[in-house]
Structure 1
Amino acid sequence: MSVYIGNLSYSVTEEDLTAVFAEYGTVKRVQLPTDRETGRMRGFGFVEMGTEDEEQAAIDALDGAEWMGRDLKVNKARPRENRGSGSFGGGQRNNNYSRSY
C-alpha cells in the first residue's frame, strides 16, 4: 500500500512526512526521490502505510490540504510506467550518431 504525495516543499524530510502520516496509522516507509544530477528533492514522495484503511484516511484528510506553504496532492500511487530502454520518443537521446543528407 503506497500513497503518492505531490507538490511537496523542496525542504521536506522523511521525518516530516512520517510525522504527518503517522496521525493516520502506521508508516512503514517513506521515499523522497531526488534528481540524479543535482541531488535535490523532486517535489514529490511516497508513503507506505500499514493498511488500506490507514492509506485512505490519510488521502481523505491530506489531499488538498495546505502544508509547508503548499497545497498537497495526495492519492493512491500508481505502478511505475515502463519507459523502456529505447532511444527516441522518450527517455534519453543517444546523440552518438551521425547524419548524412
Structure 2
Amino acid sequence: MGKIFVLSVTDHEEYILSRIMEIIAAEPGFDHTVSSHPCNILVFPGLELRLKERTVHRNGELISMTHREFATLVYLANHPSWVFSAGQIYEEVWGGGR
C-alpha cells in the first residue's frame, strides 16, 4: 500500500524541504508531487531562489549575487527549457524601466 507524506515547515526551515525533495527526486521510479512551495521561493535540485529575500542558496550555502545577476537567474528559472537570446534577456532584466 502506498504512503502519503505531509510536511509543514516555516519559511526559515525551507532548506529542509529542499533537501528532502532532492533525495526523493534522485530515486528512480519514485512518484512525487510538490505543491506546497510558496510562490516566493523557486526550488530546483541543489538550488533555492528566495524571491522575497532576493537570495540564492546552493546546497544550503548562500551565494552572493548582484541585483541584475539575481534578476537574470530568476527570469531564466521562471522559464525552464526555454532558449533566449542575449538581447531578450537584456530587455527583460534591464529594459522597460525596471
TM-score (norm: length of structure 2)? 0.24
From the two aligned structures, give the one with the greater strand fraction: 1
Larger radius of gyration, structure 1 or 2? Answer: 1
TM-score (norm: length of structure 1)? 0.23
From the two aligned structures, give the one with the greater helix fraction: 2
